Amino acid sequence: MTPSADARPKAVMGTDMRTHLGATQIPNPVLTASGCAAAGRELDPFLDLTALGAVVTKSVQLRARSGRATPRMSETPSGMLNSIGLQGPGIDELLRTDLPWLAERGARAMVSIAGGAVEEYAELATRLRGARGMVALEVNISCPNVESRGEVFACDPAAAWAVLAAVRAADPGVPVYAKLSPDVTDIASVARACVDGGADGISAINTLLGLVIDTDTLRPALAAVTGGLSGPAIRPVALRCVWQIHRAMREIPILGMGGITSGADALQFILAGASAVSVGTAVFGDPNAPERISHELANALASKGFARLSDAVGFAHQSVDFPA
Ligand code: SIN
């Protein structure tokens, strides 16, 4: 069923794009996505980092990691499979170099953290307390490229709850988003467990676990065998997840992501219930994509008559009565 003609917004001149990460207001609903541009330096020549809602940094762990063996990326139809394995310099280096670099430019940082145990997440949140320029934490409990599926806390509501509760206890003040996996039966129940544990919002979605076989070598294309699928191929799955989470908890903010390449794609996520979006895989082909998409989204909202981005959040749910 479509909204009645009267329920549709009327045309407006411009759209107020302000939104929130938890209680923190940000001027732009378009953020980068964790893992696609380290801490933002690679994108700096191509766009104004300060104009984005935030730079979401590559998931950081307590210690430096070299990641999984190569090859660890493979192109797929409308997508990309990666098994990076959380390569990164570790929290000391992030605090010493990357966060100050972002803060000096006036860019907002949403810091993504990852760990192999609940205590590691808590320690990371403690180390990051009060970090200059950090506006939010994204708690990555859904990386598919860890050594053991037992480390994918987002596949078990109780484990997800434990991580979020530990992070919340470690830093009671910072806006906290839990990043979820689509590889579960009921993503809304995992989201609810995260919110019960103390998350302010949900990041949806991380990549889907996938596989490519190289027909020349007759072996898996990635050294780690499986990897995380991203890009436009996963957009309908991501939208479905945002839709289900919003339907289950309308008051909880969602950072939507998964194959966004245009303002029209971003608009779909907003209409499904996201109050902000992350742009990831698109930057490999177009490093200006987050800035371009934020302009396209503003134009798309204005052309549909939305005076405020917030008026469009979840708009597609109007008059849809069935529960899914
Ligand atoms: C990786 O580093 O393997 C990807 C991280 C993620 O998907 O969470």
Encode pLDDT of 41-73 as tens digits.
Answer: 999 999 999 999 999 999 999 999 999 999 999
Tell me if 15 CB under 6 Å of ligand 1: no
Please report whether residue 149 resides in a domain.
yes
First-last CA distance in the chain: 14
Please report whether residue 4 resides in a domain.
no
Assess whether pLDDT exceeds 80 at residue 162.
yes
Please report whether residue 250 resides in a domain.
yes
Q: Would residue 241 show up in a list of annotated catalytic residues for this protein? A: no
For residue 221, what are its two tokens? 């294309």
Encode pLDDT of 251-308 as tens digits.
Answer: 999 999 999 999 999 999 999 999 999 999 999 999 999 999 999 999 999 999 999 9
Please report whether residue 76 resides in a domain.
no
Nearest CA to ligand 1 atom 6: 143
Please report whether residue 233 resides in a domain.
yes
Nearest CA to ligand 1 atom 5: 143
Assess whether pLDDT exceeds 70 at residue 5.
no
Please report whether residue 7 resides in a domain.
no
DSSP-assigned beta bridge partners for residue 88: 65
Residue 149's domain is classified under what CATH number? 3.20.20.70
Confidence of residue 324 (pLDDT cuts 50, 70, 90): low
Q: Are 118 and 168 in contact (CB under 8 A)?
A: no
Assess whether pLDDT exceeds 70 at residue 223.
yes
Residue 258, sorted as left (phi over 0), alpha (psi -120 to 50) or beta, turns out to be left
Please report whether residue 5 resides in a domain.
no
pTM of the shown model: 0.95
Q: Are 266 and 42 in contact (CB under 8 A)?
A: no
Tell me if 84 CB under 6 Å of ligand 1: yes
Count CB atoms within 10 A of the CB of residue 285: 9
Domain boundaries, position 240: 19-67+86-210+226-316
Taking the C-alpha atoms of residue 144 and residue 142, their distance in angstroms, rounded to an integer, is 6
Assess whether pLDDT exceeds 80 at residue 11.
no
Please report whether residue 95 resides in a domain.
yes
Number of structural domains found in the chain: 1
